[in-house]
Structures are given as C-alpha cells and as structure tokens.
Homo-oligomer: A and B are copies of this chain.
C-alpha cells in the first residue's frame, strides 16, 4: 500500500522557525506570522510603520516546513531518537514482544496494507524506569522538558514579557504530578508538548474508524489535518478492522502524542464478546501498543464492580464505552475489574516505555441531568487512589472528566477532581452545558470547555458538530478543532498566561487599521476568514478597503474613530 502524500497548504504569510535550546542541542519548532506595515498619511506623506511578526504555537510538525521532505510512506523524522539513545537506559529489542503483534506481522495477507518500514521497538533496560516523571524526580531536566519550556514561551523573551515558565519549572511540575509530557520512547517522531495547569491549555482530537466506516488512508489524513488546525494530541479510537496497521501508519506520521483506549482493541480480539475478555489479552494489547509508540492509554481502572448499581438512578446510565464494557465484564464474571486488580502490573509495563495513563472516567455523566452525581464522584475517589499507585511507579497520569455538566456545576466538578486526584492534570470532554443542540455540540461544549479550562483543566477533548450523530469528516474535524482552540485560548487569556494576548492584540490592531490580510493571516482559520470577506466584496477582491460590507463606508465606526483621532492630532 502506498498512501498519497497529504496536502496541507502552508499557513499564509508564515514561516517555520526553530528556537535552539540552551541546555540541550534541540530545535523547537514555531510558526512566525509576518505582518504588513501600518500606513498613515502625515502632511500628505505616506509613512509606513512596520509591525513585528507574531510567533504562534505550532502543532503541525514537519508538514508545514518546506525544508523537510514529507513522505507518508516513510514517516516523519525521528527527532527524539538521539535524545533517548543518549540517556543510555533503553535498548532496541530484536523483535516485538506481544503475541498479537507477532501474529499480525506473520500474516502475509496484511502485507498490502502494512506500513512499509519496520522500526524495531525500544524498551527500558532491565531495572530502569524511563518516564519523564522518573527523570524529573531525580532532578534531571531532559531535552523534552527544555523543549516544552521554550515552546510554551514562544517569543516572550524577545518581547520582554515576563514568564514563570522555565525548564526547571517544567521539571518541578512533572515531578509533582501536576503536569505530564506524554512521550513514548517508541514515538520519537512526536514534538514534545506539556499538559498541566501551569501551561497553556491543550486540546485533544479524536479520530478513528468504527465498524461502519473509513479506511487507513482517511484516518492518516484526519490525523495530519487535526494537527494542521491545532490539535495538541490525537486519540485513535478505531474499533473497526486493521486497528493495528492503521495505528502504525498514524503514529509514524504524527507529530503530536497519540493516545488510545486499549480495551477497544482487546474487545475486538474477542469479537466483541465481553465475557471472553481477559487480563492476558489486555496485557498483550498494552505491550503491542507500547511497542508501536502510543503515548498515553485511557484506562478505565476506576470502574468497579459496585458501580453497576450506582447508575440505576441515572437518566442516561453509563455512556463511557470503556466504562460500560468494564461494568458488563464485572457483572458477567461477578468479579472485580481486572484493570483495577492488575493496575500495579500495568504501571510496571508502562514505565518501561514511558506511556502515560489517562485514567478513564467510566462513570462520567451522559447528560446534564446526571452531572456531579455519586457515581461520578465515587469514581473520582478511586482514580485518586490509582493516581497514587501510578506515581509510586513514576508513571505520568492525567484524569479524564465529563462530559455533560451544566454551568453551575462545573466549578464543583473541577474542585472535586483537584482534591480527589491530588492535582493530577484534568482532561475533560467539553463539558456540554446543555443537551438540546445535537448538530451544534462543538458549541454547547466549547462553552463548558472554556469555563473549566479557566478553572484549571489542563487539556480539553474536542467535540465536533457531528457528536452524538455520526463520525466526523475532515470538515467536522476542522470545526471541532477551531472551536476548541477558541475555548483553550480564551482560557489562556483569562488565566493571564504569559504572552497569550499578543496574537489577540495584533489581530485587533490589524482590524482597526484595516489591514485585512493581516487580520486573516493572524486568525485561527485564515482561509475561512478571507473567504467570508471576499464573498461580500466580489467586485473589489483583495482591496485593502477602509471599511467592509457590514456597515458600508459611511457607517464604519473604526474609520470615523480614526478620522476623529487624525483631526484631533492635526489641531
């Protein structure tokens, strides 16, 4: 199989820049947007005053660097390989070690859809722990830590903006469990990024085929597309065919951390029959995925046997796929969940590859009606205990959260998470603040996501307009990502994140000065902004007019305002 290269156009008036590390030989990728000068007429003379370029956080990876040749069939450059090797605490295995991985490898009927290059897996040497938390607790500032410190700051130093973010702060936050860098040693293609409330709010996107839809090439395209628009991490939630092979293509081409929910694939392996699920199958799935390079696993280990009864009074029962599978397993077997009973063992696997745990919220509410109920809060207590366990093994942890929460219950939800889970980063899906708008749930949930991020949630999982109705296509992914970039950025502004206002202020200034092109280029979606503008100005496209169709020339407040200022100046 050959996948066609995916075309994402480069961002307009932008160039990829790299900022070099001071502690490590690293190059941190960013995007610099150049601006046109401000033009004024003074005493009949045209004066151009330059506007400084604006540096923005860039999740698109090498896809938007014209200097790097992209070949989907070879995968992205493995930028972290050298850093990992240098630590000298890992070894390249001769062979993959999961039974399932081997079986897939030996099945030659899969050759046509296999990723062409076979990278051997890497694992911690015996007796070693290779997680970023482990290093952080030992006082080591890794290249990954310096990378994210530089990345978070953008051009703050150049602008003289004071920032609390230093490589040492990154280390401290990771050591304390308040932040994570999800960076499997088998996914060296990913550019390090950090999730934690001291840092800019991140957004996760979900892709993945279901039994009813889409193939490998479409999923890889969605992954690249999601990064292009601003997705910080990517969850592959595939439940259909060829999950293993699809994942390989995605990881090899993904510049951001990739997450999965291993129970989905484990269930596929037993043909969807929950009764046949076993710890052994699950364990083999973990190893299979660790060796492919998955950066974080959603594990619903907080769903206990006793929780089956708790959802009885709910309007919408249990709406977590993983959660409902585990409840069913517990009920069918009349046993405690193997994810819970084997959690220590899971941690011992994960810290050999540095895979982070995203503790799944199997009891999250599926409607505003069920928000903040006993089922959810009891599970949070269990997640708090599991966090302690994971931290004992230096495994990095984030906590998944709802879902559906009306606005007046969001604060309580956040506070409960912080106290129950010892400040481990919160990672919420929305939450949706009302249930009456299917088809618009990117909006019902962007409201909740902005509010909860402002209260301290570190990462928000996007919701597309198709939520509850069908799987998103490329257009939906774009809508969902932008809605969530808005929520995340609105929270960064509200939190006073260092430099967060630079892009807002630059765009506002461009708007006020009728620098239309800069207004488009500085926006989250330059193509759409420009298209909307041009649609209304078909007669004079591309003109840098001092008004727009909204008010017309006589009623443009900004023009009048400037005229007043000018006439005041001339008096």
Contact = CB atoms under 8 A, between A and B. Distances in A.
Contacts of A367: 504-505, 508, 511-512
A116 interface: no
Interface in A477-512: 482-483, 485-487, 489-491, 493-496, 501, 503-505, 507-509, 511-512
Interface stretch (A42-50, A251-259, A310-318): A310-318
A495 to B, nearest CB: 8
Given A366-B508, A561-B324, A554 B501 contact: no
A192 interface: no
Query: Of residues A240, A318, A324, A556, which shows the largest number of chain B Cβ atoms within 10 Å of its Cβ?
Result: A324
Contacts of A491: 407
A321 interface: yes
Contact of A554 (B211, B318, B366, B565): B211
A368 interface: yes
A454 B407 CA distance: 8
A124 to B, nearest CB: 33
Given A438-B520, A523-B436, A316 B558 contact: yes
Contacts of A568: 308, 331
A494 B407 contact: yes
A331 B440 contact: no
B493 A434 contact: yes
Contacts of A548: 468-470
A433 interface: yes
Contacts of A509: 315-316
A533 interface: yes
Interface in A234-272: 239-240, 264, 267-268, 272
Interface string A48-89: 000000000000000000000000000000000000000000
B319 A490 contact: no
Interface extent on A, as a size class? 35 or more
A118 interface: no
Contact of A213 (B312, B319, B536): B536
B212 A552 contact: yes
Given A324-B557, A536-B469, A490 B447 contact: yes
A315 B512 contact: yes
A387 interface: no
Given A438-B520, A486-B444, A321 B555 contact: yes
Interface in A297-332: 308, 311-312, 315-321, 323-325, 327-328, 331
Nearest to A318: B561
A497 to B, nearest CB: 11
A356 interface: no
Give this chain's copy count: 2
Interface string A437-461: 1111011101100110010000000
A471 interface: yes
Interface stretch (A91-99, A339-347, A524-532): A524-532
A501 B369 CA distance: 8
Interface in A518-561: 519-520, 522-525, 528-529, 532-533, 535-537, 548-558, 560-561
Contacts of A274: 560
A551 B331 CA distance: 22
Given A436-B523, A486-B437, A561-B317, A533 B211 contact: no
A435 interface: yes
22 contacts: A267-B555, A272-B554, A311-B561, A319-B561, A323-B557, A324-B564, A327-B564, A366-B558, A367-B508, A406-B493, A408-B496, A434-B486, A434-B493, A435-B504, A437-B525, A438-B511, A439-B525, A439-B529, A440-B528, A447-B486, A469-B532, A470-B533
Given A210-B555, A468-B550, 17 more contacts: A210-B549, A240-B552, A274-B560, A319-B561, A321-B557, A328-B563, A406-B493, A407-B493, A407-B494, A433-B450, A435-B505, A438-B507, A438-B532, A439-B524, A439-B528, A447-B487, A470-B548
Interface of A: 210-213, 239-240, 264, 267-268, 272, 274, 308, 311-312, 315-321, 323-325, 327-328, 331, 366-369, 404, 406-408, 433-440, 442-444, 446-447, 450-451, 454, 465-471, 482-483, 485-487, 489-491, 493-496, 501, 503-505, 507-509, 511-512, 519-520, 522-525, 528-529, 532-533, 535-537, 548-558, 560-565, 567-568
